[in-house]
A and B are shown apart, each in its own frame.
Chain A
């Protein structure tokens, strides 16, 4: 079944201005980050998007949405109560539909093939259940990501049936529970910041929130893995987390090196390196 709705979470306390940051695209245009993200989302076939924002930030986001403003709904998360709660704020928007979940501080790049969002949405057409984008990640990065364990689906290079999901596992636990055949040693499949979720996930989040804790999304996904078929799709491409140190720089460099100005940018970098040391 085709997925038409997307939710972008952008309500984190550190996220207020990130979607407004501008980036130079591979074609040399300068656009706000949110606009870029929306462009990829709609290009992949999504028809309506809800952005979960912190109170009082809607004006800025409206500006950043630019040409896509008409197709965007803004939902306020009243207080920063964690990622899972931010997703849950969009429950009325998602209703009984499956929906794409994206992070407002991430952009994705796959210069050599279909966009990352398209890859996930394509994979989602083969299943009715939830499906998350994942990517092999070195164990040193485990403190930053949710990580899945499971088994590969025969006949597919990309799809994994998820049996468990853990938020920021220790390498010890990852080695015991989360090894996926076919990966290089010391690598695990970590979330890529992109999921297709079902109403059942919303129900699970609601259950989890009753404990009153600030929660990430991973515990709900782990619970869903135990009760229904939950897949993960290994995505080709790169993500850039603009919230991390030098995230904006990395994203700009990534875009520039994938585009027509590659040589010019590389020359500038080399000149910069030689003149600073």
Chain B
């Protein structure tokens, strides 16, 4: 039956939603359907039928089937299948998982594994097809065949070889960036254009830019320069990244991560100068260059984007790639004309090469992103694959779209002017990974999810209306339509397209400009970076300044909650009528941008005079002349001096030095030195985290756990729990000391403060959500619940400030922050640990190009670790980024040490139980049944566990040498041991306060009298019984204009769940429902979290005011 949704000729049947079709099916029916779908996807020759079947299977195993499985069977995931998944052997993984399902029966665990395998196979199939299509585009194929320098058919145009005063002329390519006026509802993702070409439509505008207040007038922001040089190398320079390199071998040309010049290298390769087919041939780059440009000759290629920051959503990098490719193609005779505009056929070729370049460089964009190559305003549409196309019979649509440029007769000059007069383009400053959103959209469109499919159709209708408004020059209507698009279809399809920052901005602009604010317009994958605000023309000048002010204020308020890469920027812009355009700079005009000379001249000045070539001397003369005569070179000599004689680094924004911070946060220098020494000597390290190889690790028995997977609303235990709650005997401890590095990918913001989801029409933070649950349980019990958030040096200041600003969300009960009292200093990793992590541990295999990139990055990072000093202090970053928390074990002892527990006891002397949970365990609350059980059992620690799914990695509940305890993933003697375990640790723990104090050898009196020495000694004693783990973490280092590098650093930690190994305190383990115990660790989980009922469940636990 479900197969009809894929194979039916009738579009009405084919475009039905899978979710709705599954509603009436039982678990047995669904399993039968899955069998049919799996067979179908194995047999079908049609790519898109196969891919849709794979997405159907993913969806059923991820969403529809688990909720219909009646038994809470624990199930297991075969380790060999997991290994296949990591190695991208998806077919084998699926077979292994299906075999397991056949023998053990369906379970939540195996469903999660199958869902992951089908999901990844679907994306791999799609990506392979795009790659294949890129290679088979005519005009690209020859580059994959060419494997020897003598086969190189390209030759440099003679004009570029004619010197004047020993200087070769410079070819300059200037390219606008592109704005998507309609927002394409992400329909320009290659897969989607190929699946449903009729739905892939965008209005794309080429624009020149200037940063408002910094630059004079808008110019094409993207520039590529090319000239011949008298040296058989390819010299690449990125002005914006201030990076330059001379490439003298083919292997270096294909090493994309060695330097910051990957994009330039991709352009050289995609343009055919160094064709992809020659990679790994062992041939010489000089021979290749000789064939193209003559003996001893090479190329110099320089790029500049005039400091347009990353994340502008204006496709700056794709258009830069296109500009570089265009310049290289012009230089090698692959275009009719060396200068001027390109012909339509040539633009399409540049687009095909840019797609190829993005694939080679391991990045990816939409097919509209090279829009800057074309002039003015154009409609870009998907095309149905014809019989002569390589895509025919494989996908409905072609890889490459068609472009229709609107002339003045369709969109008049006055309409264009009206758009310029009302639109303000900004960069909000947020840096976010848009990748997960693009995956979500692909999945939803291919599943024909009903609401989203409807949203897509609405977005298509809006495109026509927007085009009409544009043609009529009616910008007010256009503004209303782009807002409608953002509020309606875009957020229906992807609720995460908006965020609290954007919503706040819109509200404040509305408040400031009232009816003169005509509309909001989201650029690119998600809001927060590049955005447009449309205002009445008479207020535009005022709005330019005001917007900057509003964005800056809002950013300051939210910068600890949301990931910002830079301060917001407002642009001036104008429409570009040429598309990409080249001119030849000769003789005195043969100048590169002034900043180029800051990079190039020092190299020449350092050389001995006799080693300078005539061209070098010519270059020096040219610079000397330009610095006296050329307007743009006014400060060139001064800037050059500053480059030659570096200035002292001033202190960072926070004003605090690293030493101050270490002192302030309880850094133990002696312990640090010992750890560093142990790391260097190999006494500790990643390999040493593991338990001895002869340790027996087994899954627990049914008798080792108490099952609470069905929480009863009423029972004797519930009554017992309610009584305790009513007496005020319980408090909640939320662990919020970590920054949530997976959540923000190391951006250094507080996860707890992140407004991650809309509940009751408002973006709510993690903190607000946890308080709303305590508010509800308190109200039900007729009392209030004390709630403590633990913090650290990373989160204490921002959390205090944030809660003050929010007036504690009007929380009725006692609310405390418990600041951390210990901190570590991060260390540069040892090569041994890096190799262990990357070579010994199972790794996710990436696709071919990404794998090359990753290998190259890793080699560079190992080199960095060696040079920077292994196990040395990591200090080359903002001071706060150099510190690390020392593990969540310490967060509860900190309560004892910093007086927070004393405060709780003063307020509630009757306090008996603490419920400790992680910030990302959103379903954890004071459930009276669980509390009742904990009280009745008399356990010191009751740990909540959940049945394991594939994504639940990092340890679990195990019998270790016959004794049940929680075992961290780091300590597993063998990787596969974890896959024997049925239960995953949710971290939520019910704590009997008195038994805990007993463990520490402390009493309530000692806490109340706050005897610091006594408490500190007690904590050290317990800590000494727990293992110390060495871990690698990724930290971001920001620089330039929104650029970021990620470095692995070493830190150490002690972990809370290891308390379960201590015989001195009685531990027990409660199996709770998944919705209660699951953790939200990654923003990519958000969408399925919303779809699988988790969000609804959390909402049901909350009372928001």
Evaluate contact between B152 and A140: CB separation under 8 angstroms. Answer: yes
Cα distance, A129 to B142, chains bound together (Å): 33
Given contacts A172-B272, A186-B145, contact A140 B153 (CB under 8 A): yes
Evaluate contact between B142 and A175: CB separation under 8 angstroms. Answer: yes
Most A C-beta atoms less than 10 A away, residue of B143, B153, B345? B153
What are 16 A-to-B residue pairs whose CB atoms are below 8 Å? A138-B151, A140-B151, A140-B153, A141-B153, A142-B153, A143-B153, A170-B153, A170-B333, A171-B142, A171-B143, A173-B139, A173-B334, A174-B142, A175-B138, A186-B142, A186-B145
Chain B contacts for A170, CB-based, 8 A: 153-154, 332-334
Cα distance, A138 to B154, chains bound together (Å): 13
Evaluate contact between B145 and A185: CB separation under 8 angstroms. Answer: yes
Chain B contacts for A174, CB-based, 8 A: 142
Chain A contacts for B349, CB-based, 8 A: 172, 176
B41 within 8 A of A: no
Chain A contacts for B329, CB-based, 8 A: 172
Q: Mark B320-333, 1 if CB is under 8 A from A, else 0.
A: 00000000010011
Chain B contacts for A173, CB-based, 8 A: 139, 334
Chain B nearest CB from A250 CB (Å) reads: 16
The 9 closest A-B pairs by CB, nearest first: A140-B151, A171-B142, A172-B139, A142-B153, A170-B334, A171-B153, A176-B138, A176-B139, A186-B145
Q: Within A171-203, which residues are at the interface with B (CB < 8 Å)?
A: 171-176, 179, 185-186
Chain A nearest CB from B923 CB (Å) reads: 58
Which of chain A's residues has its CB closest to B336's CB? Answer: A173
Chain B contacts for A208, CB-based, 8 A: none
Q: Within A119-139, which residues are at the interface with B (CB < 8 Å)?
A: 138-139
B150 within 8 A of A: yes
Q: Mark B526-570, 1 if CB is under 8 A from A, else 0.
A: 000000000000000000000000000000000000000000000
Which of chain A's residues has its CB closest to B148's CB? Answer: A140
Chain A nearest CB from B148 CB (Å) reads: 8
Cα distance, A69 to B334, chains bound together (Å): 46
Chain B contacts for A141, CB-based, 8 A: 153
Chain A contacts for B155, CB-based, 8 A: 143
Chain B contacts for A179, CB-based, 8 A: 138
Chain B contacts for A175, CB-based, 8 A: 138-142
Q: Mark A154-181, 1 if CB is under 8 A from B, else 0.
A: 0000000000000000111111100100
Chain B nearest CB from A209 CB (Å) reads: 21
Evaluate contact between B334 and A172: CB separation under 8 angstroms. Answer: yes
Chain A nearest CB from B7 CB (Å) reads: 34
Evaluate contact between A171 and B272: CB separation under 8 angstroms. Answer: yes
Chain B nearest CB from A171 CB (Å) reads: 4
Chain A nearest CB from B402 CB (Å) reads: 16
Chain A nearest CB from B423 CB (Å) reads: 38
Most A C-beta atoms less than 10 A away, residue of B140, B142, B143? B142
Chain B nearest CB from A97 CB (Å) reads: 36
Q: Mark B150-169, 1 if CB is under 8 A from A, else 0.
A: 11111100000000000000
Which of chain B's residues has its CB closest to A174's CB? Answer: B142
Which of chain B's residues has its CB closest to A171's CB? Answer: B142
Cα distance, A93 to B152, chains bound together (Å): 41
Cα distance, A40 to B613, chains bound together (Å): 54
Chain B contact residues, CB within 8 Å of chain A: 138-143, 145-146, 150-155, 272, 329, 332-334, 345, 349
Which of chain A's residues has its CB closest to B275's CB? Answer: A171
Q: Mark A52-82, 1 if CB is under 8 A from B, else 0.
A: 0000000000000000000000000000000
Chain B contacts for A140, CB-based, 8 A: 146, 150-153
Cα distance, A179 to B388, chains bound together (Å): 13
Cα distance, A233 to B131, chains bound together (Å): 38
Cα distance, A75 to B145, chains bound together (Å): 45
Chain A nearest CB from B291 CB (Å) reads: 9
Cα distance, A222 to B589, chains bound together (Å): 38
Chain B contacts for A186, CB-based, 8 A: 142, 145
Which of chain B's residues has its CB closest to A186's CB? Answer: B145
Q: Within A95-129, which residues are at the interface with B (CB < 8 Å)?
A: none
Cα distance, A141 to B155, chains bound together (Å): 11
Cα distance, A77 to B334, chains bound together (Å): 33
Cα distance, A186 to B146, chains bound together (Å): 9
Which of chain B's residues has its CB closest to A143's CB? Answer: B155
Cα distance, A143 to B158, chains bound together (Å): 13
Chain A nearest CB from B138 CB (Å) reads: 5
Evaluate contact between B154 and A171: CB separation under 8 angstroms. Answer: yes
Chain B nearest CB from A111 CB (Å) reads: 27
Given A143-B154, A143-B155, A185-B141, 18 other A-B contacts at CB below 8 A?
A139-B146, A140-B151, A142-B153, A143-B153, A170-B153, A170-B154, A170-B334, A171-B143, A171-B272, A172-B142, A172-B272, A172-B349, A173-B334, A175-B138, A175-B140, A175-B142, A176-B138, A176-B349
Chain A contacts for B272, CB-based, 8 A: 171-172
Cα distance, A229 to B146, chains bound together (Å): 34
Cα distance, A172 to B352, chains bound together (Å): 11
Which of chain B's residues has its CB closest to A141's CB? Answer: B153
Cα distance, A102 to B142, chains bound together (Å): 31
Chain A nearest CB from B144 CB (Å) reads: 10
Q: Within A17-60, which residues are at the interface with B (CB < 8 Å)?
A: none
Chain A contacts for B154, CB-based, 8 A: 143, 170-171
Cα distance, A176 to B348, chains bound together (Å): 12
Which of chain A's residues has its CB closest to B271's CB? Answer: A172
Chain B contacts for A143, CB-based, 8 A: 153-155
Cα distance, A153 to B547, chains bound together (Å): 68
Chain B nearest CB from A191 CB (Å) reads: 16
Cα distance, A1 to B12, chains bound together (Å): 65
Cα distance, A143 to B143, chains bound together (Å): 15
Cα distance, A138 to B345, chains bound together (Å): 24
Chain A nearest CB from B233 CB (Å) reads: 23
Cα distance, A170 to B154, chains bound together (Å): 6
Chain A nearest CB from B760 CB (Å) reads: 58
Chain A contacts for B143, CB-based, 8 A: 171
Cα distance, A141 to B142, chains bound together (Å): 13
Chain B contacts for A138, CB-based, 8 A: 151
Cα distance, A174 to B332, chains bound together (Å): 14
Cα distance, A140 to B292, chains bound together (Å): 11
Chain A nearest CB from B389 CB (Å) reads: 13
Chain B nearest CB from A62 CB (Å) reads: 37
Chain A nearest CB from B822 CB (Å) reads: 63
Chain B nearest CB from A107 CB (Å) reads: 24
Chain B nearest CB from A130 CB (Å) reads: 25
Q: Within A194-237, which residues are at the interface with B (CB < 8 Å)?
A: none
Chain A nearest CB from B352 CB (Å) reads: 9
Chain A contacts for B141, CB-based, 8 A: 175, 185
Which of chain A's residues has its CB closest to B272's CB? Answer: A172
Chain A contacts for B151, CB-based, 8 A: 138-140
Evaluate contact between A139 and B142: CB separation under 8 angstroms. Answer: yes
Cα distance, A141 to B154, chains bound together (Å): 10
Cα distance, A220 to B151, chains bound together (Å): 29
Chain A contacts for B146, CB-based, 8 A: 139-140
Chain A contacts for B152, CB-based, 8 A: 140
Chain B nearest CB from A78 CB (Å) reads: 25
Chain A contacts for B153, CB-based, 8 A: 139-143, 170-171
Cα distance, A170 to B330, chains bound together (Å): 11
Cα distance, A179 to B333, chains bound together (Å): 19
Cα distance, A111 to B154, chains bound together (Å): 34
Chain B contacts for A142, CB-based, 8 A: 153
Cα distance, A179 to B136, chains bound together (Å): 14
Cα distance, A255 to B1041, chains bound together (Å): 67
Cα distance, A175 to B146, chains bound together (Å): 13
Cα distance, A176 to B352, chains bound together (Å): 12
Chain B nearest CB from A167 CB (Å) reads: 11
Chain A contacts for B332, CB-based, 8 A: 170
Chain A contacts for B345, CB-based, 8 A: 176
